[in-house]
Amino acid sequence: MLDIRFVRENADAVRENIRKKFQEEKLPLVDEVLDLDKKNREIKQELQSLQSKRNKISKEFGKLKGQGKLEEAEAAREKVNSFADRMEELAAMEKDVEAELRRRMLIIPNMIDPSVPIGKDDSENVEVERFGEPVVPDFEIPYHTEIMKSFSGIDQEASRKVAGTAFYYLMGDIARLHSAVLAYARDFMIGRGFTYCVPPFMIRSAVVDGVMSFAEMDAMMYKIEGEDLYLIGTSEHSMIGKFKDTMNDEADLPYTLTSYSPCFRKEKGSHGLEERGVYRVHQFEKQEMIVICKPEESPMWYDRLWQNTVDFFRSLDIPVRTLECCSGDLADLKVKSVDVEAWSPRQKTYFEVGSCSNLGDAQARRLGIRVKGEDGKKYLAHTLNNTVVATPRMLIAFLENNLNADGSVNIPTVLQPYMGGQTKIEKR
């Protein structure tokens, strides 16, 4: 959410930003919020004027009464009372106008970074850099669920009976591999100086409103019926929510946290043949990282966060690339975002395995995450998040890139301690 003063002073820039995101339908919102802002300031001004007059007359009332001028004192009291009805009316108007102003402000997208490429959708995202040499072996690579089935590692028929489509049972060595990757990701991030955290897996609506747009919420989150609780779609939401309504000492920044959680997503719509397996599912597990920092440090942390993911995947012998998200592919709260994509030897292309985002002060403004500087001045923090690894999607890249011609799968050295010393997964 933008600062209303920024919109007031930079209305044309806000409109241009909306155009760059190809959301022309939101252009009228700028004039609407400016009108509401003007009305709100007029209401406040009248309230302050009436309050000042009432205070002045109240003092006169006490003075007149003390002097025994009862008729004049009564007239002053009636005048004070006459202000009360108007002030009550104005207070109600102020509340309604501020609620309507906030509702519209939440819809206006955040200002994107000048470096963000302009494009309508993810088809216009821009490749930045490749890490590792993509390899296509000289033998056929089966679909990822077929690889899993060859180790008796997945049961989707049973999961459909139990929970419906887009769920799964992972079994045996594949289930162990799933857990091993998450354990390794935890220790990998701890080794990079992040504090490990297991957060709540449900959050209240006030936190949901603070961390994402209404459109994202509707497309992603499951609500708990009859309660003000939502299942998290990603742990960064409850992690950022940890700092809701806080005043933080500048000397304590940055906060760097890495979290484990299950995640639950609606994943509305049809996503194509390549996602019939475990690429896009309603339930998965994830290791995440977040940073709360000073505004001037967020570009540096942005680069460090996505590099962590690249380094993690390379340690598992998986080639990756980074893809700069264009303006039309950015969620409304994001200033800048980069996807990390893993190489798929079977498809001979890359696919998304993580996303790193700088949200500027948008989430901090919505949630009230403030910082007190050494000079005593107060300001909003910047928030960033990034995926370390999300399973079972990551298993697709892992299995394809470590598959051997005989159907076995190599276990990279760094992962072997988490797999009981196994160097390979082999058919039994």
* Residues with a known catalytic role: 265, 280, 352, 355, 393
Looking at residue 34, the DSSP 8-state letter turns out to be: H
Q: What angle do CA 136, 338, 179 make, to 5 degrees?
A: 65
Number of helices and strands in the chain (H, E): 13, 18
| Contact assessment for residue 8 and residue 37, using Cβ atoms and an 8 Å cutoff | yes
Kindly report the backbone phi and psi dihedral angles of residue 228, in degrees, each rounded to the nearest multiple of 5, phi listed first: -85, 65
| Residue 306 identity | W
Per-residue burial over 92-105, b if 16 or more Cβ lie within 10 Å, else e, is ebbeebeeebeebb
Residue whose token pair is 């893809």: 323
Q: What angle do CA 351, 303, 244 make, to 5 degrees?
A: 95
Residues 6+ apart with CB under 8 A from 181: 316, 389, 391, 394, 395, 398, 415, 418
CA–CA separation, 202 vs 189, rounded Å? Answer: 23
Residues 256, 393, 357, 350: is their CA dihedral positive or negative?
A: positive
CA–CA separation, 62 vs 352, rounded Å? Answer: 73
